[in-house]
Amino acid sequence: MKHIEESLSQVGNLVLEEWAMMMVDAAPKALSIFELDAPFYVSTATFTGVFCGEITVVCQSPFLDCLTRNLLSMSSEEALDEPMKQDSLRELANLVSGNFLVETYGPETTFELPRFASRMADRKEIEALKPDASICCAGDGFPVLMGCTIHG
Amino acid sequence: MGIKILIVDDSSIVRKSLTKTLRMTELDVESVVESENGQLALDRLNKSERFDLIFLDINMPVMNGLEMLQNARKASVLGDARVIVVSTEGSQIRAQQLLELGVNAQLRKPVRPESLSETVMEVMRKTA
């Protein structure tokens, strides 16, 4: 799974830096990087093709606020609504999954990305997530986890 | 007269940021219309709305960008619109399908504003 983690890391950095305009720092691969008692946001992008699986992005409100404000060039005084934040998260999962698949399996392989789902989750649900491979990093100081599960 | 633009993407964040970037280019933008999936975009075209430039995502619910383009070509409702695909798609097969459907340029997300701006100017110049 090392090559999958390397691809995830490379793609995660690219997307957060180029698209989200965030400063990216390494973070320990542990749930303790999050505020465990605060709500989590989870977005899952399902892919099908030669392999089937899903990419999962996990973060919390401060990360999503920062991401959404960066994308829309909004100041910290302007109010953000929940649909905007969910939309940012879905698009983040879309960018990570699309680029991850090309990076990992090459342009000669075609995948469909038919389903994206975003939801809020609590600590228990996050602890139960067991992706095959995952990476953690911080965007503008706020933690995010990206995971990949391949079903074969 | 400025150009009329249609942006087809299921993400409102993407539509908003694309609009912002386009308004910062040298393009003389008359209007920007947004559709959140291929079907809604096709409905506009079927109602004889015409655009000079269409930005099209591929992975969208209801009707994806490829189906929208196939249907629009079949119904001959694209008019003289130039089409730029902006998506996370990176497969060679998909790129070939899009070329065959007459797409003018394909950009893979994430797209830098400078790169978007250059591509738009090139596509508009080539087909002017």
pLDDT tens digits, residue range A48-104?
Answer: 998 899 999 999 999 999 999 999 989 988 999 999 999 999 999 999 999 999 999
Residues of B with CB under 8 A from a CB of A: 11-14, 16-17, 20, 59, 87-95, 108-110, 112
B118 lies in which domain range?
Answer: 3-126
CB A39 within 8 A of CB A122: yes
User: Is A114 in contact with B108 (Cβ distance < 8 A)?
Assistant: no
pLDDT of A108 higher than 70: yes
> pLDDT at position B57, please?
96
> pLDDT at position A2, please?
63
pLDDT in tens, chain B (128 residues): 789 999 999 999 999 999 988 988 888 999 999 999 999 999 999 999 999 999 999 989 899 999 999 999 999 999 999 999 999 988 899 999 999 999 999 999 999 888 999 999 999 987 66
Which residues in chain A are closer than 8 Å to B93, comparing Cβ atoms? 108, 110
The β-bridge relationship of strands B53-56 and B3-8 is parallel
Q: If you count DSSP H runs as helices and E runs as strands, how many of each does chain A have, helices first?
A: 4, 6
User: Is B88 in contact with A14 (Cβ distance < 8 A)?
Assistant: no
3-state SS string over B30-82?
EEEEEECCHHHHHHHHHCCCCCCEEEECCCCCCCCHHHHHHHHHHCCCCCCCE
Measured in angstroms, the CA of B89 and the nearest CA of chain A are apart by 6
> pLDDT at position B127, please?
63
- Residue range A119-138: mean pLDDT, rounded: 94
> pLDDT at position B128, please?
60
Reading the block at residue B10, the tokens are 């299921």
pLDDT of A115 higher than 80: no
With 0-12 CB in 10 A as exposed, 13-18 as middle and 19+ as buried, what is B97? Answer: middle
3-class DSSP assignment, residue B10: coil
d(CA A9, CA A96): 10
> pLDDT at position B5, please?
97
User: Is A88 in contact with B13 (Cβ distance < 8 A)?
Assistant: yes
Q: Is the ipTM of this complex over 0.85?
A: yes
Measured in angstroms, the CA of B80 and the nearest CA of chain A are apart by 30
- Residue range A113-126: mean pLDDT, rounded: 87
**Which run of H or of E encompasses B86?**
strand B82-87
Q: What is the CATH number of the domain that holds B95?
A: 3.40.50.2300
List the single range of A108-112, A119-123, B36-40, B92-96 with lowest mean pLDDT: A108-112
- From edge to edge, which strands make up the β-sheet containing B105-108? B29-35, B3-8, B53-56, B82-87, B105-108
Which residues in chain A are closer than 8 Å to B36, comparing Cβ atoms? none
Domain A2-150 - what CATH class? alpha beta
Count of domains in chain B?
1
Nearest to A20 by CA among B13, B37, B19, B59: B13
On whether any CB of chain B is under 8 Å from the CB of A117, the answer is no
